């Protein structure tokens, strides 16, 4: 029943608020010159919608389309069409599935996808103007699981999804899903000292991507996005994130 309702809503989705792009967007030379992979990055002022820093272009892999699933659900919550507290399994709510998915549980991500439906989610993404995004199902990791192509997206589309998610952070259930992203033990783990970090780290074969919301003690809110592909090693993804933070911290 939930799935059918979401399919109808996806087809009638209103376009997303357009990002406000500055006349002259600052580039990020340190990332542009980084070897060992392909990168695209951006920094967004989530309070104004301005793209503050940007580099790279094109579509990049995301193992799981969790960011787009949560953005879709946040928009539905704002329309009172769904509640994260809805029980969808034995002692399991929609919020539980998303929280586990955002912390790397592929099985939970798959169960979250069952709720929204790949077809409904893809229709919503298309209706919302995210033209660079192609979504696929969740790649499960148990032996013999069928191979699934990774989802693909751009920094522009991820930024739009991140803005929707940010608009829902007045709801505690959304904030709890985003808390304590797994930054690992590499260079990226040291960024944003003194700031609160929320979001998702997406690691897969040849890529490591970060989709984060950083909130300063003074209340400044930045969206930080690193997408990557063809990495020589995971550490290059961490280095790119550290370089992005260094640039953002100077704004």
- CA 199/CA 102 separation, integer angstroms: 8
Sequence-distant (6+) residues with CB within 8 A of 143 are none
Per-residue pLDDT tens digits for 114-169 = 999 999 999 999 999 999 999 998 877 678 777 778 899 999 999 999 999 999 99
Query: Both tokens of residue 41?
Result: 């990055």
Residue 5 pLDDT exceeds 70: no
Q: What is the pLDDT of residue 13?
A: 52
Question: Do 152 and 59 form a contact (C-beta atoms < 8 A)?
Answer: yes
DSSP state of 91: T
- CA 45/CA 209 separation, integer angstroms: 19
- CA 145/CA 31 separation, integer angstroms: 36
Nearest Cα neighbor of 82 from 173, 167, 164, 2 is 2
Q: For residue 155, what is the domain's CATH number?
A: 3.40.710.10
Q: Are strands 207-215 and 196-204 parallel, antiparallel or unpaired?
A: antiparallel
Domain encompassing residue 106: 2-248
Q: What is the pLDDT of residue 8?
A: 44
Per-residue pLDDT tens digits for 165-216 = 999 999 999 999 999 999 988 889 999 999 999 999 988 778 999 999 999 9
Query: Both tokens of residue 237?
Result: 């993804």
Per-residue pLDDT tens digits for 64-90 = 899 999 999 999 999 888 999 999 988
Q: What is the pLDDT of residue 201?
A: 94
Q: What is the pLDDT of residue 18?
A: 52
Dihedral over Cα of 102, 204, 68, 17: its sign: positive
Question: Do 135 and 122 form a contact (C-beta atoms < 8 A)?
Answer: yes
Task: Check: pTM over 0.85? Answer yes or no.
Answer: yes
- How many domains are contained in the chain? 1
How many C-beta neighbours within 10 Å does residue 164 have? 20
DSSP state of 63: S
Q: Which helix (H) or strand (E) holds 127?
A: helix 118-127
């Amino acid at each position: 029943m939930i799935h059918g309702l979401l399919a109808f809503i996806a087809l009638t989705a209103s376009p997303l608020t357009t990002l406000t792009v500055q006349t002259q967007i600052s580039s990020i030379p340190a990332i542009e010159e980084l070897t060992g992979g392909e990168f695209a990055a951006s920094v967004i002022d989530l309070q104004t919608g301005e793209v503050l820093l940007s580099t790279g272009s094109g579509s990049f892999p995301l193992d799981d389309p969790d960011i787009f699933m949560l953005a879709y659900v946040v928009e539905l919550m704002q329309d009172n069409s769904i509640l994260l507290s809805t029980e969808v399994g034995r002692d399991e709510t929609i919020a539980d599935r998303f929280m586990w998915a955002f912390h790397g549980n592929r099985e939970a991500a798959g169960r979250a996808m069952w709720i929204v439906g790949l077809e409904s989610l893809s229709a919503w993404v298309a209706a919302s103007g995210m033209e660079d995004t192609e979504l696929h199902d969740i790649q499960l990791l148990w032996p013999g699981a069928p191979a699934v192509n990774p989802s693909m997206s751009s920094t522009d589309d991820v930024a739009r999804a991140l803005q929707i998610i940010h608009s829902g952070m007045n709801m505690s259930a959304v904030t709890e899903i985003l808390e304590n992203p797994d930054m690992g033990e590499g260079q990226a783990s040291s960024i944003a000292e003194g700031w609160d970090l929320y979001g998702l780290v997406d690691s897969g074969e040849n890529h490591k991507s970060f989709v984060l919301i950083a909130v300063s003690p003074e209340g400044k809110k930045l969206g930080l996005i690193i997408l990557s592909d063809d990495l020589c090693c995971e550490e290059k993804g961490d280095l790119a994130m550290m370089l992005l933070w260094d640039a953002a911290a100077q704004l």
